[in-house]
Amino acid sequence: MTTVAFGRLGRSALGVVVFVAALAIWELWARSADEFLVPTASEVAKTAWHEWRTSEFLSEAAGTSLKRLAAGYAIAAVIGIALGLVMGSSRAVRSLLDPFFELLRAVPVISLAPVAILVFGLGDASRVAVIAFGVLFPILINTIEGVRNIPPEVRDTASMLHVGRVERISRIYFPAALPSSFTGLRIALSLGLVMVVISEFVGQRDGLGNYSLVQQSLLNVPEMYAGILFLGLLGYLLNTLFILVEHRVLAWHYGATRG
């Protein structure tokens, strides 16, 4: 086993130790506090083991939220990358649209939830719209910056060879901006879970956000913490899968940078 492999194994082991230590501190502190609103880690784990296996939680809460996240994330990814390529490659388009998007970016997402309900109704469409809006800007901004960071000599060479705008965007700008776009996509993925919870506080009574809200209103404190724990683990799993996909898709980029 190489030194690099040993280093990775050591970092992974250290991460496990830190996680276990955090759970132990939580357990000891909750037992000493003896507060109703602060359940022990073992109690939350027992509740989570029971709740997470139920069809109601898996289907109506987790499954529904994941579908909304996937839909909103996909919409934002397509719009963000496509629009980012155009804005990054054209100064005129960027100057025209920048003020509009900067204005929208400053608007808190939660304030747009009532607007989305008025426009799209109380169903999934309004929630997907909120999620898509909330995760759009990291993808858009990183794609724009990825295009703008392309070396001038690459642009000059494309101009000398009379490469058309569409071909220039698809064959030069898009691959060059892809590493930066993936950075935005990764940031957007973690934000997506936040947007899911925010969007599910109102409207149809399903999803992980509504689950936590209902448990809180019923003072089912261990169940509420179990829902929060599930969101954290879900975010960790999605981020891990994203990194695997990113390294697979951008293998050429990582190979070039390491070389």
Per residue in 114-147, pLDDT (tens digit) is 888 888 887 889 999 999 999 999 999 999 999 9
- Looking at the structure, do residues 147 and 162 belong to the same domain, yes or no? yes
Take residue 46 and report the two structure tokens written for it: 């027992």
- Which range marks the domain in which residue 231 is found? 39-258
Residue 244's domain is classified under what CATH number?
1.10.3720.10
pLDDT at 136: 95
Average pLDDT, the chain: 86
- Look at residues 116, 150, 144 and name the one whose alpha carbon lies nearest to residue 130: 116
- 259 pLDDT above the threshold of 50: no
**169: confidence class by pLDDT, cuts 50, 70, 90:** confident
Length of the chain as a residue count: 259
The structure's pTM equals: 0.87
Residues 16 and 89 in one domain: no
Structural domains in the chain (count): 2
Residues 105 and 208 in one domain: yes
Q: What is the DSSP string of 149-160?
A: TS-HHHHHHHHH
Both tokens of residue 168?
């220039």
Confidence of residue 11 (pLDDT cuts 50, 70, 90): low
> Cβ of 192: how many Cβ atoms within 10 Å?
23
Each residue's pLDDT tens digit, 73-107: 999 999 999 999 999 988 899 999 999 999 988 88
22 with 56, same domain: the answer is: no
For residues 104 and 137, membership in a common domain is answered with yes
Pair 18, 130 in one domain? no
Q: How is residue 151 written in tokens?
A: 């070396």
pLDDT band at 63 (very low <50, low <70, confident <90, very high): very high
Q: Are 199 and 126 in contact (CB under 8 A)?
A: yes
Q: Looking at residue 10, what is its pLDDT? A: 64
Are residue 63 and residue 24 in the same domain, yes or no? no
Residues 16 and 70 in one domain: no
Q: Is residue 163 domain-shared with residue 188, that is, in the same domain?
A: yes
Q: Which residue intervals of 55-173 are DSSP H helices? A: 55, 64-89, 91-105, 109-120, 124-148, 152-160, 165-168
Residue 198: per-residue pLDDT: 87
